[in-house]
A and B are shown apart, each in its own frame.
Chain A
């Protein structure tokens, strides 16, 4: 009974949220922030798969985000490909690069993997900056068409003016819902269990017959394609891209989100994305008033990261409390990890 009620409450809340853009008091700014929040939610859920589920630190996530965004922008500008075709193409391109980068590098142990992925994301930025014939380099890529819904019979300007950013809001919500659904399904699947086993102890997983490399590459490819999906949407929403948008900071920010929420927890990723996006906006408004430079924002993020690791290493929603549905495999894995004080990647480091 109680569960039913809360489900109903959830639906009411969702319906209210979906109706919000059409309310007379809805502000463009709030809508903008909420769309941004949802983009980060998608990114956070995507990144979460690699460090959260498999326990491998991926510092190159922003590279896939950038690849998706530029795929989307360039296809639109040069070939006028409609949005619904671009989404799978960008995701596929992301997955392709995920496999290309992941297949050779995922044999590496944690630290080395982190560094290689970091190098990859920096190379992506260098490529976007220097291949001017393709990306216009530091000038950025303007003139991306907005997503248009084919409603030719509704050729009324006032209607499109009324809509404004609203379709993006619902599109973003659709994307968050879709990714959430997929990731939750994955978490409960054989694949998800294999990932958690790898995170707990890759050696033990391997000796139980889990083909570690395959599972890691799959995780990496899925994570990359979700990143690229976020990028594809982002490009068609901001309508302008520049290499600066895909620097390491973004990877770090998304990492902050999932660490804050709790590595390996999908709900945590959502909450972390919402909180840090909101915090970023609040700081953006407040800092100039207090006479502080905008750098304080990233200073705060850095400090948050250090403090969370120090005092709440599992984040605010540690993965053990993933959902109402208990996941016995995960709980078991968590208990063992706690018992051994085990590490992410196969127990290295603590040679005790």
Chain B
């Protein structure tokens, strides 16, 4: 009993930290420009595909390939903002939201055209062998080095992000923008630069999440961003959209809830957990677990 519970818990935590990594991207963009960036899930998917392509087509080793995928996705995030969202900053909310959905559909199908619509295995030969070994084996719970790696990378990135937001000039500028864009601009903050930086940061973290998931499950597909995006968004809402620590907490809670739900209730409704959590949170506590109660601005 306990063994099964612990095993599910470990699975849930692994998934949860990855959701948290994607959720941070949603929440930062929402915090700064109040847009639900539907295409964020597609950036996560692109990260995974770019990494595999770098490994298999260009022969780049595992770790540099991840770094390169991060860089590309960061650049892509900035491009996405400039091409699709920036022209609509002053347009009605509905227009920006529809554009975001349009971008998401476009990117997903572009990936299908480029890489084919069927799921692919991750380039296993490039993954360092030691990541597959068991690191800890306590009470029947196997923890592989890969899982340890996932925890280490995500926690490291979260810490780095937290420090960036709270301790650096650009982080202060981001928080200022989230408070009041006009006032921030009057104080001499280059608003567009900060927004681009936010997109780059969120996209890079999303790309890492994409690589980690596709290594963990040894599979990647053009549609993976869709489901993961919804779940990460649910996590962001659960934690309180606009709040970075909230997104981290929300991701972990959602991952654990999903793993336990799949283990003890019904694995068929695995994805349903995220939707149900999403609907319930929005209805009963729209400001989320750690969110500020400013959502009802409109």
Contacts and interface: CB of A to CB of B under 8 A. Distances in A.
Contact of B98 (A129, A309, A341): A309
Interface in A274-301: 292-293, 295-299, 301
Contacts of A59: 101
B90 interface: yes
A347 interface: yes
Interface stretch (B137-145, B159-167, B265-273): B265-273
Given A123-B275, A130-B268, A293-B117, A344 B101 contact: no
A126 B269 contact: yes
Of the candidates B96, B98, B230, B286, the one having the most CB atoms from chain A within 10 angstroms of its own CB is B98
A309 B34 contact: no
A115 interface: yes
B75 interface: no
Contacts of B268: 126, 129-130
Nearest to B101: A252
Interface string B257-281: 0000000001011011001101100
A144 interface: no
Interface in B217-239: 230, 233-234, 237
Interface string A53-79: 001010100000000000000000000
A124 to B, nearest CB: 10
Interface stretch (A81-89, A104-112, A204-212, A217-225): A104-112
Contacts of A259: 98
Contacts, number: 159
A114 interface: yes
Nearest to A114: B97
A213 interface: no
B296 A293 contact: no
A313 B91 contact: yes
B131 interface: no
B117 A342 contact: no
Contact of A111 (B36, B182, B272, B278): B36
B127 interface: no
A109 B295 contact: yes
Q: Please indicate which of the listed interface residues B102, B103, B108, B180 has the most CB atoms of chain A within 10 Å of its own CB.
A: B102
B132 to A, nearest CB: 33
A2 to B, nearest CB: 36
Interface in A161-207: none
B266 to A, nearest CB: 8
A140 interface: no
A343 interface: yes
B50 to A, nearest CB: 18
A148 interface: no
A155 interface: no
B11 interface: no
A348 interface: yes
A122 B275 contact: yes
A255 to B, nearest CB: 7
Interface in B50-104: 84, 87-88, 90-99, 101-104
Interface in A316-352: 341-352
Interface residues of A, number: 55
A303 interface: yes
A343 B102 contact: no
Given A115-B233, A299-B110, A301-B105, A348 B93 contact: yes
Nearest to B267: A130
A343 to B, nearest CB: 4
B265 to A, nearest CB: 12
Contacts of B234: 119
Given A51-B94, A111-B97, A126 B271 contact: yes
Contacts of B296: 109
B182 A351 contact: yes
Contacts of A240: none
A271 to B, nearest CB: 18
Contacts of A123: 272, 275-276, 279
B94 A115 contact: no
B283 interface: yes
B94 A345 contact: yes
A123 B234 CA distance: 14
B6 interface: no
A35 interface: no
Contacts of B102: 301-306, 309
A204 to B, nearest CB: 13
Contacts of A302: 102-109
Contacts of A292: 113
A120 B272 CA distance: 10
A309 B93 CA distance: 11
A76 to B, nearest CB: 26
Contacts of B233: 115
A249 to B, nearest CB: 8
A335 to B, nearest CB: 15
A244 to B, nearest CB: 13
Given A123-B276, A130-B268, 5 more contacts: A105-B279, A111-B93, A114-B36, A122-B275, A350-B90
Interface of B: 34, 36, 84, 87-88, 90-99, 101-110, 112-113, 117, 180-182, 230, 233-234, 237, 266, 268-269, 271-272, 275-276, 278-279, 282-283, 286, 295-298
20 contacts: A59-B101, A108-B282, A109-B295, A115-B36, A115-B233, A118-B230, A119-B276, A123-B275, A129-B268, A293-B113, A295-B112, A302-B106, A305-B98, A305-B99, A309-B102, A313-B95, A349-B92, A350-B90, A351-B180, A351-B297
4 pairs of A and B residues whose beta carbons are closest in the complex? A348-B298, A302-B106, A305-B102, A302-B105
